[in-house]
Amino acid sequence: MNSEDANMSLCLVTGGAGFIGSHIVRRLLELGQDVRVLDNFSTGHRKNLTEVAGRIDLIEGDICDMPTAQRAGSPKPIPSALWCANTKYQGMLY
Ligand SMILES: NC(=O)c1ccc[n+]([C@@H]2O[C@H](COP(=O)([O-])OP(=O)(O)OC[C@H]3O[C@@H](n4cnc5c(N)ncnc54)[C@H](O)[C@@H]3O)[C@@H](O)[C@H]2O)c1
């Protein structure tokens, strides 16, 4: 993948509204990363993202839903992703 194929500063954080994910989101923003969060808010909280609202690309949905997962990785490939979604189905995407 070269820089023309992807936004190299974009990082996807699944479960970014959760306890660990939201801390990672804030730190990535501090480091100058663009951040996309994918979360279904099953255990996460919107208030965890209040501070960064407007600075992140938020996709609300389930990572196990293929159209949602594809949306999270488009229109350009995501060069880095941090998996903080707490789901027993995570192996489905590997
Ligand atoms: N908190 C800890 O001390 C700790 C320690 C070791 C490991 N972990 C692991 O780290 C991960 C995150 O922990 P946490 O404490 O931040 O949990 P959390 O419940 O606060 O965060 C998980 C996030 O994932 C989201 N989520 C769950 N299923 C999803 C799905 N199918 N699609 C999209 N989003 C989904 C939830 O809404 C939530 O925002 C877990 O796997 C946990 O087992 C946590």
pLDDT at site 87: 64
Q: Whose CA is nearest to atom 13 of ligand 1?
A: 20
Q: Please give the number of the atom of ligand 1 that sits closest to the Cα of 48.
A: 39
Q: pLDDT by residue (tens digit) across 57-71?
A: 999 999 999 999 999
Whether the predicted pLDDT of 7 surpasses 90: no
Place of tokens 């189905």: 89
Q: Which of the four pLDDT bands, split at 50, 70 and 90, describes residue 2?
A: low
Q: Which residues form the pocket of ligand 1, taking CB atoms under 6 Å from any ligand atom?
A: 14-15, 17-21, 38-44, 62-64, 84-87
Q: Whose CA is nearest to atom 2 of ligand 1?
A: 20
- CA 46 to the chain's CA centroid: 14
Q: How far apart are CA 75 and CA 7, in angstroms?
A: 10
Q: Please give the number of the atom of ligand 1 that sits closest to the Cα of 22.
A: 16
Place of tokens 């027993």: 88
Place of tokens 């501090």: 30
pLDDT at site 48: 98
Whether the predicted pLDDT of 94 surpasses 70: no
63 backbone dihedrals φ, ψ, rounded to 5°: -65, -20
